[in-house]
């Protein structure tokens, strides 16, 4: 049930994505719900009970898509999802029970404000049923997935027209508008707090050296553990996953298991590179091996404020 649409990697590109969930069967939840994401920020929520858009920030400056447009688009998404769910249900000979149809679709702006692809991903009960990618520069549609081959020539042509003339331009326009209105938020830079820690392992098998960066935004960070100035190869390192903090910032940690001898013979450091930091940040590990956890260097000034 996990759906992944690549979120643009670099600071110059942005995306606007609709994540929709439709549940068919007897459920206490709204039959249909969507969230709208600008890059990795949730802008608003809509469901078939509320029938209106709820922005996470309540002021007129954040409503980059009007209620009217939202109602129009989401009721369209709703009925399309329902059609697809019923089609899948029929194909799988399912008569009763709870079934979930999910969709993720949206557009992106590349560097220099150039429209990228319009992508759409559908799944039914966690199974990918259709993937579409519409190239707005070349007006070509690529489809993959379980049901995509069943699209008739006619349906493809209709879809191409719809993407070229309606969804593509509409999405790009909304994306530009939302970027403009949410600029301060999505383009903010929040500095990481970075620490290099060492922890003596209980069974005296050595020491765990950990470089931890937390509280940063945007998500792109280069965190490197070095031994005598050389990056430690990735396969010796544990961690390295980017994790959300729940407050729209991220954290990452990288750890290395070293023996007590290695710790004495080598010099361990950590560097962090992040958009919010002018220069890369270098941290060193001291020699105070007595303490259970030693926190050698702490960034003295940490700002959580948006800049
Ligand atoms: C659904 O039922 C029909 C007719 O009984 C059968 O031909 C078909 O293979 C079934 N499909 C699946 C996915 O089980
Ligand atoms: C991380 O390193 C890569 C390769 O050196 C570089 O292109 C990228 O800009 C760096 N990212 C950050 C956030 O500094």
CB burial readout 95-111, b (16+ within 10 A) else e:
eeeebbbbbbbbbbbee
The CATH number corresponding to 193-299 among 3.40.309.10, 3.20.20.140, 2.60.40.10, 3.20.20.70 equals 2.60.40.10
- What is residue 72's predicted lDDT score, i.e. its pLDDT? 85
What is the 8 CA–ligand 2 centroid distance (Å)? 15
Rounded mean pLDDT for each run of 10 residues along the chain, 307 residues in total: 44 86 91 93 90 76 84 88 90 90 92 87 89 81 76 75 82 92 89 92 86 94 94 94 91 94 91 91 63 34 36
How many angstroms separate the CA atoms of 75 and 25, rounded? 19
What is the 223 CA–ligand 2 centroid distance (Å)? 10
Token pair of 264, please?
Answer: 């004495």
The ligand 1 atom at the shortest distance from the C-alpha of residue 91 is 13
- What is residue 54's predicted lDDT score, i.e. its pLDDT? 87
- What is residue 60's predicted lDDT score, i.e. its pLDDT? 62
- What is residue 299's predicted lDDT score, i.e. its pLDDT? 35
- What is residue 237's predicted lDDT score, i.e. its pLDDT? 95
Report which bound ligand comes closest to the CA of 281. 2
Ligand 1 neighbourhood includes 93 CB (under 6 angstroms): yes
How many angstroms separate the CA atoms of 251 and 217, rounded? 9
- What is residue 201's predicted lDDT score, i.e. its pLDDT? 84
E strands, 48-190, are 54-55, 99-109, 115-124, 127-135, 140-144
Q: Do domains 14-186 and 193-299 have the same CATH topology?
A: no
- What is residue 172's predicted lDDT score, i.e. its pLDDT? 92
- What is residue 286's predicted lDDT score, i.e. its pLDDT? 59
How many angstroms separate the CA atoms of 271 and 57, rounded? 35
The CATH number corresponding to 14-186 among 3.30.590.10, 3.30.500.10, 3.50.50.60, 3.30.390.10 equals 3.30.500.10
168-181 helix and 67-91 helix, angle to the nearest 10 degrees? 130
β-bridge pairing 32-38 and 293-295: unpaired
What is the 222 CA–ligand 2 centroid distance (Å)? 6
Please state, in angstroms and as integers, the Cα–Cα distance from residue 195 to each residue in 19, 117, 138, 305, following that order: 36, 39, 48, 20
- What is residue 130's predicted lDDT score, i.e. its pLDDT? 83
User: Would you list the domain boundaries of the chain?
Assistant: 14-186, 193-299
What is the 87 CA–ligand 1 centroid distance (Å)? 13
The ligand 1 atom at the shortest distance from the C-alpha of residue 93 is 1
- What is residue 150's predicted lDDT score, i.e. its pLDDT? 67
């Amino acid at each position: 049930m996990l759906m992944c649409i690549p979120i643009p990697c670099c600071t110059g590109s942005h995306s606007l994505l609709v994540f929709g969930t439709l549940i068919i069967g007897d459920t206490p939840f709204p039959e249909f719900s969507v969230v709208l994401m600008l890059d990795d920020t949730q802008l608003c929520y809509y469901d078939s009970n509320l029938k209106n858009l709820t922005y996470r920030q309540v002021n007129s400056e954040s409503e980059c898509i009007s209620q009217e447009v939202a109602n129009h688009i989401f009721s369209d998404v709703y009925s399309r999802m329902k059609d697809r769910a019923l089609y899948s249900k029929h194909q799988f000979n399912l008569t009763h029970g709870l079934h979930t149809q999910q969709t993720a679709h949206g557009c992106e702006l590349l560097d220099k404000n150039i429209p990228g692809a319009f992508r759409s991903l559908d799944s039914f009960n966690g199974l990918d049923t259709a993937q579409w990618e519409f190239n707005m520069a070349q007006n070509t549609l690529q489809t993959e997935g379980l049901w995509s081959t069943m699209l008739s020539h006619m349906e493809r042509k209709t879809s191409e027209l719809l993407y070229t003339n309606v969804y593509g331009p509409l999405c790009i326009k909304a994306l530009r508008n939302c970027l403009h209105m949410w600029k301060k938020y999505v383009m903010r830079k929040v500095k990481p707090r970075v620490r290099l820690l060492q922890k003596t392992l209980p069974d005296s098998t050595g020491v765990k050296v950990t470089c931890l960066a937390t509280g940063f935004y945007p998500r792109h960070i280069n965190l490197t553990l070095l031994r005598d100035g050389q990056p430690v190869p990735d396969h010796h390192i544990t961690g390295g996953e980017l994790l959300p903090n729940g407050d729209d910032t991220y954290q990452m940690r990288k750890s290395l298991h070293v023996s007590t001898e290695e710790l004495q013979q080598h010099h361990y450091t950590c560097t962090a590179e992040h958009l919010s930091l002018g220069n890369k940040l270098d941290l060193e590990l001291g020699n105070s091996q007595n303490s259970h956890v030693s926190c050698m260097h702490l960034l003295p000034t940490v700002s959580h404020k948006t800049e």
